[in-house]
Amino acid sequence: MRYLILIVGLLMFACSSDKPQENTEAPAQAAPAVQGEAVDYSADGVTLKGYLAYDKNLSGKRPGVLVVHEWWGHNPYARKRADMLAALGYTALAVDMYGDGKQAGHPDDAMKFANEVFSNLPAAEARFKAAMNLLKNHPMTDPNHIAAIGYCFGGGVVLHMARTGADLDGVVSFHGSLAATHSAEPGSIKAKILVCNGAADGFVTAEQIAAFKKEMDDAGADYQFINYEGAKHSFTNPDADENGAKFGLPLAYNKAADEQSWQAMQEFLKKIFAAN
C-alpha cells in the first residue's frame, strides 16, 4: 500500500512539473531613462533657452513641472533638478527667465539680472507663461496637470505667479524670496503653495515671514510653510559653500534640509496632481 501511495505521489508531481508555472510576480518596472534636450522659445521677441527632460521608459502623458533657476541664471543646477523630476515620472522644463541663457558669474551681475526681471513684471510673466505653454504642448505632458518649483530668485518667481492667479496646480519655493511685488487678492490664488525655508536664512527676516503668512491667510490660500532648523540661504545647492566663501555671502548647503525639502516636494506634487 505504501508503495502504491508513493507511485501515485510521483505521478502527480510529474504531471504538475510538466505544467507551466504561473508567474504571480508583477513585472519589474524599467529604471528611469531620462531624456534631456535643449529647447528654444521666445517671449516679446526675446529668445529664451530652456532644458526639457522626461523619462523615455514611461509611456503616455504625465504631469509637467517648471523649474525656475536661482539668481545665477539657467545653469547646470537647474537642469539637474529637471532631470531629477523626470526620474520621478514628470515632464520637467528648466526655464530661462533672463533671456539668451544668460548666467551670472558674480553676485553683482546676479542682482542686476534679477532686478531687471522684477522691475518689468509684465515681461517676467510673459516669459514664465511662454515656458508654461511650451511645457503644456509637449507630447509627453498632460496639459491639465502643471506645477512650478523655484530656487532663491526662482522661488520668488513662482510665488509671484501664484499671487497673480496663474493656472497652476501648485508651486514650491525653496529658499525663495517672500516679499510681494504684487499682493494677492482674496480668492485670487488658484495654486496650492509649499514654501521650504531655511530657519537660519539671513535674507529672509521674521517680519517677512509674518507678512507672507498674513497675506496668504487674508487671500484664503492653501499653503504650507516649513522652516528647516539651522538651514541657511541656498541650502539645497551643493555649490552654496563654495559660493559663500568666494563672495563672502551667508550661503551654506544643508544635506538634511535638502533631502527633507525634496521629500516634502514629492509628497506635495503627488497630492495636488491626484486631487485634480
> What are the structural domains of the chain?
34-275 (3.40.50.1820)
Mean pLDDT of the 23-48 span: 82
C-beta separation of 163 from 188 below 8 A: yes
- Can you name the residues that pair with 192 across neighbouring β-strands? 170
pLDDT in tens, 126-177: 999 999 999 999 999 999 999 999 999 999 999 999 999 999 999 999 999 9
> What is the percent of the chain where pLDDT is above 90?
85
Q: What angle do CA 129, 131, 135 make, to 5 degrees?
A: 115
Amino acid at 242: E
pLDDT tens digits, one per residue of 211-247:
999 999 999 999 999 999 999 999 999 999 999 999 9
